[in-house]
Structure 1
C-alpha cells in the first residue's frame, strides 16, 4: 500500500513539471538562434574581420588599450595573450611602413601615461625609432621615467633613449640611477647601454659597470656585464677578464660570462673594431690550460671562435679590416692545435669537445683530420658517444655534394635536416638547429616599425 502511494506521488510531481515546462514555452517562445543572438562586430574587431581596410589611429589605439587584459613581466607582455596577437596581426596588414611609423608616434605619446602597465609598456615600444629618438620624445620618456614603478615599463623606456646617453646628460643620469635599481633586469638594461659603441668614452659609466661586475648582489647581472665588458672597447676590461679567468675561486656563472667577454674582445659576431691582442692571449691561455674540467673551458661562447677565419670574401669589408688588424699576432694554427687538444681530452666536458669540433669545421680543417679523430673515438662509451656522433656528422656533411643545399647545413647530430631548415643561408644556423641554444635577442638592434 505504501509503495502504491509513493508511485502516485512521483506521478503527480512529473505531471506538474511537464505542465510548467509547457507554460514557460508558451510565454517565452522559441529560443533565439545563435546567429540571431550574436552581436555585430564593432571597432577593432570589425576591422580585424575585414582584411581590406588599412589601420587607423582609432583602431590602433583600441588594440593597444586591449593589452590591459594581458600579463606583463620583466621580459614584456605574454605573447600568448589574444590581444597581443591581434595587435601583431594588425601591424602587418595593409599599412605602409611610413604610416605605421606615424601611428606608432601618435599612439605611443598618447598612451605613455596610461594607468595600465601593459599599455604603458607597449606605448614605450611604439616610441622606438630606427632613426633614434627626437628631443621631444626624449623629454617625454624622461618625464615618464620619473614616476614609473613597473620594471618592465622602465626597461621599455630605457630602450627608447638609451643610445642617446652620450649626448643627453639627463639620459645618462637616468641610466646611472637605474643601474642601482632593485630589479636586476632594470640594472642590467641600464648598464648594457654603457657597454655598446654608444657608450664609448662616456665619463663615469664604465666605472659604474666595474662596480657592479665586482659587487652586484645578483650573479646573473655580474655574468651579463662581464660577457659584454669590451662592448665599448674600454681597455680596462682586460684586467677584469684576467682577474676572474685566472682566479681559482671564481663562480662558474661569472667565469662563463667573462669567457664570453674575453672572446668577444678580439673576435666574434660582430667583430670588434679594435680587437685586443691581450684578450686573444688570455683566450688561448684558457683553451690550453690543463687539467680541463666540466666547467673549464666553458662550452658556451665557442661559437664566437668560428669568426676567427683567415679568409673572407672580398665583399666582406668589415672582416677584411679585422683581419688586417689581427694579422701581426693572431695565429690560427695555435688556435686549431688547442681545439684539437680539447677534442682528444676525455677530461673536458663532452659539450666543450663538440663545440670545439664545430669551430674546427668552420675554420676549414681538412677531412683527414676528422677521419683521424673518428678513429680515436672508435670505441666510444658513455658521454664520448656524443663526440663520436659529432665527428660522424661533420664527415657526413663534408661528403654531401656542393650543389646540394644541405651541404651547408649544420644541425643537431643524428639525422638530416628538415625541409624548413633548407632555407637557412649557407654557413648560418637556424635558431632551432644551434646545439649551443638560441642566441639572446639584441635589445640594441634597430627596431622594426612592424614589431609590437
Structure 2
C-alpha cells in the first residue's frame, strides 16, 4: 500500500509524463532553486537561520497540508521568508530553514507552465528587494524563465549596475552571460565585473569569455590573458588557466608552455594550467578543435623526470581517460574527435608515459594510481598490469596504495561480464564552477 507521500510521488510521476512535451519548460522551472548553491558546502559565514521562518510567514499550516496547491501568493511568502537567511559567494546558505521550506514547497505537484509564469512575475517583483537572499532567489527565478526577453535583459542589466552583493552579482551574470557575444551591453557589464573587488565575481565574469559564447569577442581574451598573469588572487589565475582553451583560442598554448615549463611556479597555477592543457586536446566534453601543440606539451610533462610529489600533478588525470579511439558510431562528438587527432595522436606513447609514472616510486602515490586508472580506461592489456603487479611485489610505505590499485584492476578484469560497471565520468563543469581537484 502506498503511503500518502508515496501516492503523491506516483501522481507526480504520472503528471510529469503528461507534460513531457513541455519538458524543457519543466527543467527550466526546476532550476529556480539554484541547485549549484545548495549542492556545495558553504565557505563560511553565519550559522543557519532560526527554523521559525514558516511560522513567521503563517505557512506552517500550508506545509502540513500536502494537498494545498502552490499559488502565487504562497510562493511569494516563502520567498520573502528568506530574509532570515544569510548568503555567501555561492548563494543562500543551504542550511537555512526558510530555504529548506521553499524547496519543500516547490516539491508540490505544480503545472510547469504555471510555475514558469509565477517565476516570471515574482522575479521581476522581488529583484530589487532590500534583502540579498530575496534578490538572489529572484534572480534564480529569472534564470528559470524560458528565453531571455529584451525587457528581462534590461531588468538584469539595471539590477547588476546597482548590485553590491557578490553572490547576487554572480547570479545576475549567469542570466545574461551567454549573450555577451551579440549584446555589447552585456559584454560591457562582464568587462567591468572582471575588475570587481570580489575574486568570485571576477572569476564568474571572465568564465564566460572562455566558452563558445566568447569566441571572437574583441578584447575579452586579452583581458583573460592579463588576469592569468596579474590577478591578485592565485585562485582566479588557476581557474582561468584551467579553462583557457575554452573558446579554442590558440593564444592559450604559449601560456601553458610558460607555466608548465617554469622550474618555479605556484603549485595552484601549475595545476590550473595542467588542467587547461589537457582539456585543449581531450577531456569531457571534447574540444571541437583539439590542439596538437597541447598534446605534445601534455606528453612532455608526463615524460619529464625527475618526478616529484607535485610534478606531474595527479589532478586532471581523469580527463586523459577520454583519449581513446574506440567511440561508438552513434557518438558523433567522439568520432569527430578521433578524425581530428588521428594524424598526430599516438596512443602507445601515452600508455608508455603512464606506465612509466606508475612504476616511478619518486612520483606521488596518488599520481601513480591516477595513471593506473587512465591505463585501465584506455584499454591497457592484462599482461601490462601483470607486469606492473610484479614490479610491486615488495611494496614500501605508500607503494601499498599502488599495489592495491593494480590488484583491484586485475580482479575486475577477471570478473564475469556485467559484474562490475566502470564509473561514468561527468562532463566538464559549467565555466563558472571551479571544483576542487
TM-score range, shorter chain: 0.7 to 0.9
For structure 1, the residue ranges without an aligned partner over 5 or more in a row are 1-38, 410-426, 431-438, 446-452
User: 1:175-194 residue pairs with structure 2 within 5 A?
Assistant: 175-194=190-209
1:239 corresponding residue in structure 2: 254
Select the residue among 407, 414, 430 that pairs with 1:442. Answer: 430
Please report the TM-score for the alignment, with normalisation by the length of structure 2.
0.84
8 Å CA contact retained: 1:108, 1:124? yes
- Distance (whole Å) between structure 2 residues aligned to residue 217 and residue 40 of structure 1: 45
8 Å CA contact retained: 1:91, 1:100? no
- Distance (whole Å) between structure 1 residues aligned to residue 57 and residue 301 of structure 2: 64
1:374 corresponding residue in structure 2: 389
Select the residue among 320, 323, 335 that pairs with 1:305. Answer: 320
How big is the shift at 1:440? 8.3
1:62 corresponding residue in structure 2: 77
8 Å CA contact retained: 2:57, 2:81? no
Residue 41 to residue 261, structure 1, CA distance change in 2 (3 Å): closer
How big is the shift at 1:43? 4.7
- Distance (whole Å) between structure 2 residues aligned to residue 109 and residue 379 of structure 1: 67
1:399 corresponding residue in structure 2: 414
8 Å CA contact retained: 2:210, 2:431? no
User: 1:298-447 residue pairs with structure 2 within 5 A?
Assistant: 298-404=313-419, 407-409=420-422, 427-428=423-424, 442=430
- Distance (whole Å) between structure 2 residues aligned to residue 131 and residue 59 of structure 1: 22
2:5 corresponding residue in structure 1: none
Residue 197 to residue 335, structure 1, CA distance change in 2 (3 Å): same
Deviations 1:3-57 (A, max 9, x none): xxxxxxxxxxxxxxxxxxxxxxxxxxxxxxxxxxxx9998533222221233111
- Distance (whole Å) between structure 1 residues aligned to residue 146 and residue 243 of structure 2: 24
Question: Does structure 1 residue 151 correspond to structure 2 residue 166?
Answer: yes
Deviations 1:105-157 (A, max 9, x none): 11111100000001111111111147542211110011011111111110111
2:39 corresponding residue in structure 1: none
- Distance (whole Å) between structure 1 residues aligned to residue 94 and residue 269 of structure 2: 31
8 Å CA contact retained: 2:119, 2:145? no
1:230 corresponding residue in structure 2: 245
- Distance (whole Å) between structure 2 residues aligned to residue 93 and residue 201 of structure 1: 44
Question: Does structure 1 residue 197 correspond to structure 2 residue 197?
Answer: no
Q: Which entry has the higher C-alpha Rg, 1 or 2?
A: 1
- Distance (whole Å) between structure 2 residues aligned to residue 295 and residue 231 of structure 1: 25
8 Å CA contact retained: 2:88, 2:167? yes
Q: Cα RMSD (Å) of the superposition?
A: 1.9
Aligned length in residues: 380
8 Å CA contact retained: 1:199, 1:232? yes
- Distance (whole Å) between structure 2 residues aligned to residue 283 and residue 42 of structure 1: 57
- Distance (whole Å) between structure 1 residues aligned to residue 131 and residue 145 of structure 2: 26
8 Å CA contact retained: 1:61, 1:107? yes
Residue 169 to residue 369, structure 1, CA distance change in 2 (3 Å): same
